[in-house]
Structure 1
Amino acid sequence: MITPADNSNTALAIDSKGLESLKQSARQNSPDSLKAAATQFEALFVNMIMKSMREATPQDGLFDNQQTKMYTSMLDQQLSQNMASRGIGLADVLIRQLSSTQMATAVTPDGADATKAVSDTSDLRAEILRNMAERNALAHQRSSEAHAMQARGGVNNTTTAASAVSKPAHVQAFQDKVAAHAEEASRTTGIPAKFMLGQAALESGWGKRVIRTADGGSSHNLFGIKAGANWKGKTVDAVTTEYVDGVAQKRVEKFRAYDSYADSFRDYAQLMRNNPRYEKVLANASDVKGFAQGLQRAGYATDPNYATKLTNIINRNLSA
């Protein structure tokens, strides 16, 4: 961690002592603390860019797993730290902005008002520095915990350390809401709960695009299951995209509606168990790619990229 006392670009990005030093120096409201905090903010910004680039790159190769993802994340943090120590310009802009504000107020004609203005600006700058330090500490906290767990547990504890890295908020929220229902469905079908969570996430946009009823309520249909002639339950009409000969077309279709997400998972489990077209899906439910490709071959969806999308969602967000 880069601090006023250590500007070396070889300092570890997940060094907890460096984080504490940065927070202490921020309280001193010194030029050095301003530079250190601005540099750390720049490192955080660069790390966010690198993380977005990683997420946009396919990660389902032979050597892609939770362990490699954890070490790649740690490497990206260190690279971000090194790049920020050399500077991409963001830290310099922050320093000029905060420093120029203080200098401008210091030269006002009225001596008493100028003193008050400088004091207020100094307090503001100190608060900004503290906030930046706290933000950096929060951003690296979970990676530090994973690193510490890895050091305590040795190489055999890699999976546990990897699971300490937090998931995106929307992924965790969705998983917390329906994980119990997925576990119940898993016991009756043999399909791993995370596979069903991934499919529900793909069909519903992590629960944000669940089909709405006519009165604006939720259909609780997480799997996009349509209502055929044999369906005796509630239904809802919705616009959907279907692919005909590889060409996307908008259509209005009738979908099943449930009273709860638990009912949605139970109906999905029953569909998988009782419909002969999904026998091979259940037979290959132990493998992510086999499960996803089996669903596509069975005609669960017409999207030609359905299996790839489902595989990526499960591997990137639910494999821990």
Structure 2
Amino acid sequence: MDVKRLDDDTMLQILGCLDTDEDIARAGAVCRSWHRLVVDGRLWRRLCMIRFPELEVFREVAEQSSGVDCTTVELSKSRSVEEDILRREHKVFCDFYYSLTRTSSTRSSYIWNALHASSTDNPNEDVIQTLYPHPKRLSSGSPSYWSSTGQKLETVPEFLTYRMVTPLCVVEEIKLRPFEAFFQYGSPIYSPKFVRFYFGYQACRAPGGHSWSNPHPDGNYVWKYVSPMYPVEQADSLQTFRLPRPVVCIGGIFQVELVGRVQKQSTDQLYYICICHVSAQGSSLQRYDFEIKDPKSFVLKSLSKPIEEEKEEEEVEEFFRDEEDEEFFRRLRPELIVWGRPVFEDDDLGEY
């Protein structure tokens, strides 16, 4: 059969069956007419949605250069507005797909900072302590861990909320380490029974801009992906929870739900949950941002270059909770995440 005799609608249906990046790239390189069909069929956008269903909200694209929004561009006289939009979308989603699926080590933690916890037993057991790679790093000699308040019921959940390094991140697995209270009789381990993970954005994020100020603990979040529930071992070990598939965290907010309590404290007979480390492995999408037009329609923004590191260096000070935390992170400044560089490598998370 001569494919040249097929009309465009039929060819689009055929090309729409392509489900790998190699096939789409080859089809678009066959000839000008096939390239036009790949563009008109929005095949790269479709492939992104197949691999990452949460990206369905991206209905438009924009390109930025040096902080200037280039959503509206000067059109060529030979192209219609619709053709220009499709070509721009084709380019952005093609690049975006390769950024999403590029080979990356999952050894790096892409949590930028700790925002808040649903409860905290005392100020020295704040959620920021979960960013330390080891549970005995404080200069005071006390162990670094987060502790919930005590509860009479073992069913009361807890939530730990973090911000990722960039507004868009790919997360493949989460690592969590329950805390062993070696200073208490019997060295009890205050682990939860189960854990679940949420990825989304702050509901008050202003359209067209960042929302990098620390949200209020009662802040409203919109979750674009919620993981299955995973059982947690009552063990002093770094436990890995691999997601069913890589997930794009749209909005850079990551929350850990800790479900069920196991261990009572002997002094007050209340149930506690204590965690000494949390990390999220995957990759950051440094050259992309997004804008919310409405809850079902987002704009994917392609940046000409990553947001400048020096701007993030100026902002990092606001995240330190006290001088001890600041001193710790200053010592590790070369390993600190700044838009895609790892805070800690998992080699740092071995047995101590």
Q: Does the alignment reach a TM-score above 0.5?
A: no
Give the TM-score normalised by the residue count of structure 2.
0.29
Report the structure, 1 or 2, having the larger strand content. Answer: 2
Higher RCO (C-alpha under 8 Å, 6+ residues apart)? 2
Determine which structure has more spread, i.e. the larger CA radius of gyration.
Answer: 1
- What TM-score do the two structures reach when normalised by structure 1? 0.31
Greater fraction of residues in helix:
1
